[in-house]
Chain A
């Protein structure tokens, strides 16, 4: 590893990461516009032009933001981080990463065309027996396969680093990238299985019917780890990048690794908590997965502790006095810190709401109400996305050889705070409406003039207000992005990589023992899923034919 590589991401790897970020910003703009129009429709004061269907738009919003925007940002970010901390990609690794990018892009375009042709208004969860055009499913498959190819590049780089540095603990950020992608690869086996062996043959007409319960269960085996795939890169930033930005130290390298290992264990064998009110699954198995779901709270509590420990140590090192004096010493004017920090705060109510949702019978009150929509807008669209914005402010100029100017920093602050206000408006009105029984994934409706439905409408108007503020923030983000990518002054923008405090304990090598971690993860998955899946196959009702009801 040469010194140049240590300082700056190699321009060839930079180009690779930037390619991902261009798709990210386009996806953000398109998906955001769809979201804005949805909140307008739901206000009851607006109708979609040109024969666009509400559910067509909703499918676009979900696919483009939840699947496309996040995956592109995360893959681009992970490539950049690994190239920076484990060394520049070899030509072979970079070629693999470009193939991954091509597969992701082609898959996205295929799915998008089917949505635009109104052949796939099945939402991003594509529950059978609603049946979209086969090309839609093939496109999504390519997105998944593309992410596998991209993770192969990361694993190869990691293996190469280990070989070159025997007896040493791997770079923290590379280690975290490897965990994130291992978790993703294991989780996507579920969705790949249902798409390749159930949905595709059925949508191509090779088989007539589909086992709906099995397909849903395989989907949710993937669907919950999907949200951790969004969250782990944000945790990477909070643990290992933010400390450097504020000028502090990583609280503990080992504990950071431990929490990522725990996240690997407890992200996957928990999908049944999305199916708590569903027939065909024994409630005892639901409860077992509820327990496993709750265990994922532990690494999150560890994360919260570490972050605030870093903040407090830093503040005190700057001479802060009293119980909370350190709080004032944090660099509040720096968007690279403040915007992700707001995201961290948002994860507190977001995580607490998650515990409510997973609480076995409490789920009955909120299941599929718009409370759930409010919940994941608080977690992914607030906590995670604010963190991604915070990364973009320095990573884009780092990769394009430019700098984040004071003026752009100010605009970035305004952008992030606008997002905060908009999301608080939208998410809290969704939460309240959900408690009153308002359903998710629904166009404007008065439900035959029912009194209860009339109570929901003011909250839908509040959501439209929130949506409008959010869209202003997206316009600002696009402006900031274009500036940082093409127009900002040339210079050296730092790629902040956190360091542990001097004299910190050496990280135990056990963390790089993948046989152990993957073994435990496999045991947990086999334990949590084998019997429910056998049940769903053996006691299956007659299968379902496909329906196209849009």
Chain B
């Protein structure tokens, strides 16, 4: 059985007459798979992500996570959004530690194990190159650095599932490509499952094992593309013929959906 099973899921916002954001959407995700959802804006990609986390409940269909049906907010998922939302009154390190203070699993033992937690957080910050900035306040970090810290915050409690909603969309092109590398490294080291929502097709092909193209609202999966490229993938590869062909194929699929 797959790790995540999305089975004929629909969601309508605002009652029976409201907008249909997602319709009859099915998708299955294996443990340790990196999945990217791409599609035109407002197509319900983010809604799908929210339904997997249980923050939003489907009005039709079922979502299973690790064997159990999702019926409310799931615990121990890592989430990162485009906006880093670091707490300005906490240092970078304390921001990263926040999930351990509030998560069901760690909250009771947080004080007792604080030293271990700090070690773990510093290790994580070191992997993304932020260890020297642990005591800095968030506003002293650049946008890219804030997003690295945001990733660390999403991963500190070692979630099995990481949900990313356009995490790099607000960054400049160079920083974005740099962070693809950071995320790929984290993914290869830690072997969690990822669902990434993005507009950037190069990003999706570079990072994902499987790219799903979502139709315009109401969202449905119209194309599923396996990306067989070996890891670690390099930025140079993104300009190879094979890579560019995949990007074009996805692009065509999206243009079709948009035109329809």
A and B interact physically: no
Task: Report which B residues bind A (CB closer than 8 A).
Answer: none
Residue ranges of A at the interface with B (Cβ–Cβ < 8 Å): none
